[in-house]
Amino acid sequence: MNADIVIKNISQLITIAGENRPRIGKEMSEIGLIENGVIAISNDKIIYVGQGELPKEIKVDDNTSIIDGAGKTVTPGLVDPHTHLVHGGSRENELEMKLNGAKYLDILKAGGGIHSTVRATKNASFQELYSKAKNSLDTMLEFGLTTIEAKSGYGLDTETELKQLRVAKELHKNHPVDIVSTFLGAHAIPMEYKENVEEFIDIVINDMMPKVQEEKLAEFCDVFCEDGVFTVNQTRKILNEAKKYGMKPKIHADEIEPLGGAELAAEVQAISGDHLVAATEEGMKRMAENSVIANLLPGTSFNLSMGKFANARKMIEMSVPVALSTDYNPGSCPTENIQLIMTLASLRMKMTPQEVITAVTINAASSIDRQNEIGSLVKGKKADIVIFNAPNLSYIIYHFGINHIDKVIKNGRVVVDNGKRI
Ligand code: IZC
Ligand code: ZN
């Protein structure tokens, strides 16, 4: 078979080889490391992964592009399974409010926070939302992300929710980064429904969901289950209805207050429970029993100065599969930099470099149901590959705040070179 691209002499080739499923406990440390690695690509697929020289059956000719991996670390394309990619405006006005002691949920209650992004998103045209999201997507790609999840949730009315999801769908078609969409109509209670939450939930279920399904705009449904937002009972009701429309549940669970979101994620068989900073041990136990992925977002703890991070060590010890995400959004975590998130996960949640890379590859892919196509470098999988200017995995996490990317290969094509989108 002819190779289109070969990367050879790779200092550290991290394959994450193994079964196409979320890794738990000690498996999260088994990263399939190959020193002096070589990998070959044909079209959009990986055709060989190994050590030293290519075997004879892999043919190299004048059309093959050979990349020297000496001094580099190569990993699967990174996956971000929790972002609020499509939105209007920004919220830097909240910075000084926060420095003066205002809390995230107080700002929200007062009609700011998510509500201010809802206003900006309603006022933005399709094209404006598209351009802004595209810029962020380019940045994400430059940081090594090749697949992301993107949520709606800044419309809170049918028209704007659909607009956001259509933007994500169009970007998925046109941009190298693959986007998996989540319907988050229950992201906040619109100010005008404050006294009438059930009526709003009725709109989410009976007006928004059928339209989302009709246009095939979302694969997952998420709810912000939080003190002052949606209760556990309301979240359960919304997610059970979402299942009828073919959407798989996700939950913003126990981000700030321990409401029982982790327990609910287990009960409704959510694919992931996200945040979990305040999750109880009982909740973690039930997540482990039901194979619900803990999708942790340490950038949010950092940016909200919560003084507390999710208990990743306990979760790994209890065999809850752990994934990591940026949570990219204009309020609680305005960054596209997944490498910074990897450093925060390591330094603030005590995850080892091996656990961190597992969490942003196969476990992240599993939490958007893409474990069979991406998340590891094995023959037959998609050629989504990242080449870091770093001699080893630890270096990427240790030298923090900068972008270590040399090249990104997406669907078998080099789309980032020298750290820049081409
Ligand atoms: O815009 O504040 N937590 N949703 C739930 C968010 C953060 C996004 C935002
Ligand atoms: Zn979120």
Is any ligand 1 atom within 6 A of the Cβ of residue 252? yes
Tokens of 350: 């005590």
User: pLDDT at position 157, please?
Assistant: 98
Band the pLDDT of 151: cuts 50, 70, 90: very high
Burial (0-12, 13-18, 19+ Cβ within 10 Å), 70: exposed
A 10 A CB-CB count for 44 gives: 15
Is any ligand 1 atom within 6 A of the Cβ of residue 182? no
Residue 268 near residue 249, CB atoms below 8 Å: yes
Q: Which residue bears the tokens 């709003």?
A: 200
Give Cβ neighbours of residue 141 (< 8 Å, ≥ 6 apart). 175, 176, 177, 408, 410, 415, 416, 421
Nearest CA to ligand 1 atom 5: 224
Burial (0-12, 13-18, 19+ Cβ within 10 Å), 163: buried
Domains of the chain: 5-76+375-421 (2.30.40.10), 79-366 (3.20.20.140)
Which pLDDT tens digit goes with each residue over 177-212?
Answer: 999 999 999 999 999 999 999 999 999 999 999 999
Is any ligand 1 atom within 6 A of the Cβ of residue 277? no
Is any ligand 1 atom within 6 A of the Cβ of residue 112? no
How far is the centre of ligand 2, averaged over its atoms, from the C-alpha of 364 (Å)? 15
Nearest CA to ligand 1 atom 6: 332
Residue 199 near residue 170, CB atoms below 8 Å: no
Return the closest-CA partner of residue 264 out of 279, 246, 242, 277. 279
Is any ligand 1 atom within 6 A of the Cβ of residue 114? yes
Residue 342 near residue 354, CB atoms below 8 Å: no
Helix-then-strand count for the chain, H and E: 16, 17
Angle between helices 114-123 and 158-174 (to 10 degrees): 70
Which pLDDT tens digit goes with each residue over 267-307?
Answer: 999 999 999 999 999 999 999 999 999 999 999 999 999 99
Which pLDDT tens digit goes with each residue over 56-107?
Answer: 999 999 999 999 999 999 999 999 999 999 999 999 999 999 999 999 999 9
User: pLDDT at position 394, please?
Assistant: 98
User: pLDDT at position 142, please?
Assistant: 98
Q: What is the mean pLDDT of residues 120-129?
A: 98
Nearest CA to ligand 1 atom 9: 331
Ligand number nearest CA of 326 is 2
Which pLDDT tens digit goes with each residue over 343-389?
Answer: 999 999 999 999 999 999 999 999 999 999 999 999 999 999 999 99
Q: How far is 364 from 375, CA to CA, in rounded Å?
A: 7
User: pLDDT at position 330, please?
Assistant: 98
User: pLDDT at position 197, please?
Assistant: 98
Q: What is the mean pLDDT of residues 13-38?
A: 98
Ligand number nearest CA of 182 is 2
Is any ligand 1 atom within 6 A of the Cβ of residue 115? no
User: pLDDT at position 422, please?
Assistant: 92
